[in-house]
Structure 1
Amino acid sequence: MTRADPDTLCISEIYPTTLSVKMTDSSSPKIIGIVYNLNIQIGNTFIPTDFLVMESTSRDSTLLGRPFLVTTGAVFDMPKKRMVLTNVNKKKPYYAEWSLKCKGYPKCDCLNATTLSEARKKRKREEK
């Protein structure tokens, strides 16, 4: 979560933390703090998730950490670029394509997971 996101989401409680993050490009963004137990809606299920608030100059994608992936029972199918959250819905895959094309608030529901077919329908409506 970037520094601007808590303001956008009306989150006032950001707690200090000593955690650090190393990105895949070996950079280490400055950590502002942590937001505990932010409920993320996936379908009809709410998952309490902790988010690190990082200093960032761009609208980086939200990274899903190990605790979230364990809680949701995430199973990845890398060749098809999808994951199934077995503790949420074993039959509904979520595709990486949508999260990569998400441009930020308020244009899309970044905190609501969506399937590829729903994302395609939404994009078609927005293009009209």
Structure 2
Amino acid sequence: MKDPGNFQIPCIIWDINIEKALCDMGASINLMSLTMMRTMKIEEAKPTRMTLQLDDRTFKFPHGVVEDLLVKVGEFIFLANFVVLDMEEEANTSIILGRPFLATTGAIIDVQKRELVLRFHEEKMVFNVFKTMSYPKESIGECMMVDSIEQIVQGVLEEEQCEGTIELEQQASSEELQQGTMEKSVMLK
């Protein structure tokens, strides 16, 4: 049995029909190209301090975040936030639906049956993973893996700030101790 890896589903965002939205369990965010954002006539994206690490280990800074977009898959409509990245588009991969979207849709991936099941309340929609894939992995292009490292960077910055505060306190204590020693030696003379 072939490994399905990433797979595609058709969806509609605003009035734009996206035939091959890439579903990627490895992506920690939903991603949209800046070109796609402009095609949808979205004026602004919310600024973000997020940093993205791509598959080739390079870092990119997103254009912003577009919140609360309605994504229609079949008869189901889901709410999703997208990080917007100025990137080259190849093979119609202007949208990546990552783990947040798949979690929202209650996605169940059955590798043995080769099915992706999206759920909305008691209803479900089934996609045959291999039928929805129609291009080789080599043509996916630049954006195959994206991870948000904003939380990691924030944690490191807080840790460094805390260490810097401790060093300053230790330095101040050391100076006070030296000052006290000098005062005692002056008093002894």
Normalised TM-score (structure 1): 0.63
Please state if 1:14 is matched with 2:45.
yes
Alignment partner, residue 72 of structure 1: 105
The aligned length equals: 101
Change in Cα spacing, 1:7 to 1:94, as seen in structure 2 (3 Å) is farther
User: Aligned match of 2:117 in 84, 104, 109?
Assistant: 84
Note if contact 1:84-1:93 (Cα within 8 Å) is conserved in structure 2: yes
Note if contact 1:61-1:99 (Cα within 8 Å) is conserved in structure 2: no
Q: Which amino acid aligns with 1:64?
A: L
Q: What SS is found at the alignment partner of 1:12?
A: coil
Note if contact 1:38-1:50 (Cα within 8 Å) is conserved in structure 2: yes
**Relative contact order (C-alpha < 8 Å, sep 6+): which is higher?**
2
Aligned-pair Cα RMSD in Å:
2.5
Counterpart Cα distance in 2 of 1:30 and 1:56: 11
Counterpart Cα distance in 1 of 2:114 and 2:62: 29
Please state if 1:51 is matched with 2:87.
no
Alignment partner, residue 144 of structure 2: none
Percent identity, aligned pairs only, is: 29
Change in Cα spacing, 1:9 to 1:19, as seen in structure 2 (3 Å) is same
Offset of residue 91 of structure 1? 4.8
Change in Cα spacing, 1:43 to 1:78, as seen in structure 2 (3 Å) is same
Alignment partner, residue 95 of structure 1: 129
Offset of residue 96 of structure 1? 5.9
Counterpart Cα distance in 1 of 2:112 and 2:56: 22
Alignment partner, residue 36 of structure 1: 67
Q: What SS is found at the alignment partner of 1:76?
A: strand
Offset of residue 95 of structure 1? 2.8
* Structure with higher helix content: 2
Change in Cα spacing, 1:63 to 1:90, as seen in structure 2 (3 Å) is same
Note if contact 2:76-2:120 (Cα within 8 Å) is conserved in structure 1: no
Alignment partner, residue 114 of structure 1: none
Note if contact 2:72-2:78 (Cα within 8 Å) is conserved in structure 1: yes
Moved more, 17-26 or 31-40: 17-26
Q: Which amino acid aligns with 1:95?
A: V
Note if contact 2:50-2:61 (Cα within 8 Å) is conserved in structure 1: no
Change in Cα spacing, 1:25 to 1:38, as seen in structure 2 (3 Å) is same
Offset of residue 33 of structure 1? 0.5
Q: What SS is found at the alignment partner of 1:84?
A: strand
Deviations 1:53-90 (A, max 9, x none): 11212233522222211110011133565411123743
